[in-house]
Structure 1
């Protein structure tokens, strides 16, 4: 069985750089893209402690994830790598870093290649870093592309 590489994609230039890196450096592997939908996508608050859930908003986020998977397939095809590399796509819902780590563990991933926005200082502390969390907790090698 060949190498299985996981590439989280969110549509940002950084995630596409990671995808392109994986495609060009893991010829012959199975590459799986995963788009993680925030479980709060579609939840709105009235600031009074209540709130409501709009399922259509969540569904649109899932559809966007599927569209990103198709864009990945087109990019890989344009690079001519689909002849030797298997490309799979997935859309998952959950907290981003945890969902990436769980997906990797449950799907026998050998390597994770992901983009980083390169935030530092206060921005990283306030916003967190998905790439950093994945790199620290992953049971497999992680390549972070900027």
Structure 2
């Protein structure tokens, strides 16, 4: 059994990881980090240019640090883990990878009302579009 656990390094994504490790001890946890290129446009100016390359390098480094911590925590929990990185829109990439798994366990920031409407919800989109069951952890 493979359980997909999308992670961005947030407190909520770590809660999802811990939940998946406890709830599915015999499964392989597929930890997915999605690098969203749309975020590169924020804070680097309109020209993109060298700033976009630096942003991507920083995201790659952050992903490797996240995966190191995932491997350490998985070993401590006795969990089998596989790491995977994709570049694209998070909800779309998560649902694409979910098609290869049996279950998704995803953290939610729990936004409500106007902030959810304005910011969208990756977890909500995954729940709506996932081809496999999804557990949302808050």
Per the alignment, residue 13 of structure 2 pairs with 15
Per the alignment, residue 52 of structure 1 pairs with 48
2:75 equivalent among 74, 77, 84: 77
1:24 and 1:142 map into 2 onto residues whose CA distance is 16
Q: Structure 1: which 5+ runs fail to align?
A: none
- Say if 1:98 and 1:36 are closer, same or farther in 2 by CA, change over 3 A: same
Q: Structure 2: which 5+ runs fail to align?
A: none
Which has the higher Rg, Structure 1 or Structure 2?
1
**Displacement after TM superposition at 1:139 (Å):** 0.6
SS in 2 for 1:5: strand
Give yes or no for contact 1:62–1:91 (8 Å, CA) kept in 2: no
Give yes or no for contact 1:14–1:145 (8 Å, CA) kept in 2: yes
Alignment size in residue pairs? 134
Per the alignment, residue 87 of structure 2 pairs with 93
**Displacement after TM superposition at 1:41 (Å):** 4.2
Deviations 1:93-123 (A, max 9, x none): 1001001111222xx2000001000000001
Higher helix residue share: 2
2:114 and 2:84 map into 1 onto residues whose CA distance is 32
Deviates more, 1:108-117 or 1:60-69: 60-69
